[in-house]
Each structure stands twice: as C-alpha cells, then as structure tokens.
Structure 1
C-alpha cells in the first residue's frame, strides 16, 4: 500500500499529557493543541519523505524502510530509529521509549504513539 498524499489532522486524544511526558514546554503545548496540522507523505518504493506542518513549525524526515535513520521529533530533538513495515498498511518504529505506529486505511491515517502508559492517538484524513 502506498502512503503518498496530504493528510489533515481531524482529531487527537491525550495530546497534552503525551507532550508533557516528552518534555515539551507548557506554552508550546497550549499553542499546539488546537492546530490542525498537515502531513505530506511521498512514498516511493522503500523511500519515504515526510513533511509535518504545525502552524509555523515544519518537520522534515526522510528515511528508507528497514534502515536506521535520523528522525526529528516534535520537540525538535534528533533520534536514531529504524522504521519498518508491518503487513502492507502499517509503519512501526521505536525511539526513546516511544512506540509509534502509523496505519493507513483508505483515506485515513491513524498514528498511535505510546510512552509508558500514555497513548497519544491522531487521526488524519486525506485532503
């Protein structure tokens, strides 16, 4: 399955507790909680280019599935990680104790990030 497309955030659960646990300052959490961010994905073979836009903040990540890469997190930190496909519609990675699962179903992408007992879920629709 190909993840290419532009997706806009529709809903999210546990944004504030998750961002606090990641160490994001309270003022940035309050600024970011209501932004309907846009994710743009270019998926060509095993190569993925991901651009996340939240207001004035833009995060660019590029990686090859199954190979170690450097990813920028929402806090701006750079981490080493390996993104793998599970089945044909799910990308999974783990970094700094956070498990991230991104699943594509039709025109909906669901990203679930788990840190300890906090589960942060974002649902985005293709635009």
Structure 2
C-alpha cells in the first residue's frame, strides 16, 4: 500500500500536553491546536517526501527508508536519524520523541508521537 496522497487532520488527542513537553511556547500551542493541518506524502519506492502544512507553517522532510537523513522536528530542530518501515508503518526517533506513522487503510493515516509517557495521536483522512 502506497503512502502517497494528501491527508487532512480529522482529530487529535494530547496536543497541548505534548507540545508543552517538547518546549513549544504557549502562544504557538494556542494558535495551533485548532488548525486542521494537511499532510502531503510523495512515495517513490523507499524514497519519501513529506510536507505538513499547519496554517502558515510548512514543514518538508525528505528521506529514504533505512538511510540517515536530516529531519526537522515540530520545534524546528534538524536531527540526523534513520526512518524505518515495517509493513504499513514508518518509525523514526527524533531525540526523545518516537514517531510512528501508520497507514491504517487506504484513506486513514494515524500519527502517534510519544515522549516518555506523553502520547500525541493524530488521525488524518485522505482528501482529493
């Protein structure tokens, strides 16, 4: 199953607690909590380009499965890491945050970010 497509955020849990834990300022947390971000994924074999647009902020990361890449996290830090793929799940560790992106079915993308015991879960649906 290909990850390629555009996905719009439908629901999220744990946003405020997670963003505070990663050090985002309160004003940005307040602005961002109600924005329906859009994720666009382009997959060509093991090569990925992921663009997440949240209001005026656009975050783009490119990587190849199993190879070291520089990934920008939510706080704007660039971290060298390796993205792995297990079936329909992409996993990456950025400092203390573990991120798992799962393509549940052809139309639902679930992102789970974990920092210690704080979990931030986002559910996005494919859009045309």
Distance 1:90 1:117 in 2: 21
Equivalent pair of 2:100/2:112 in contact (CA under 8 Å):
yes
Distance 1:118 1:105 in 2: 22
**How much has 1:8 moved relative to structure 2?**
0.1
4+ residue segments displaced more than 4 Å:
none
Match of residue 114 from structure 2? 114
Q: What do the CA deviations read for 1:8-31 (whole angstroms, capped 9, x no partner)?
A: 000000000100000000000000
Q: What do the CA deviations read for 1:21-80 (whole angstroms, capped 9, x no partner)?
A: 000000000000000000000000010000000000000100000011001111111111
Equivalent pair of 2:81/2:93 in contact (CA under 8 Å):
yes
The residue correspondences of 1:35-46 to structure 2 (distance < 5 A) are 35-46=35-46
Normalising by structure 1, report the TM-score.
0.97
Structure 1: state its 5+ residue gaps.
none
Distance 1:40 1:68 in 2: 21
Other structure's SS at 2:110 match = strand
Distance 1:80 1:28 in 2: 25
Structure 2: state its 5+ residue gaps.
none
Aligned residue pair count: 126
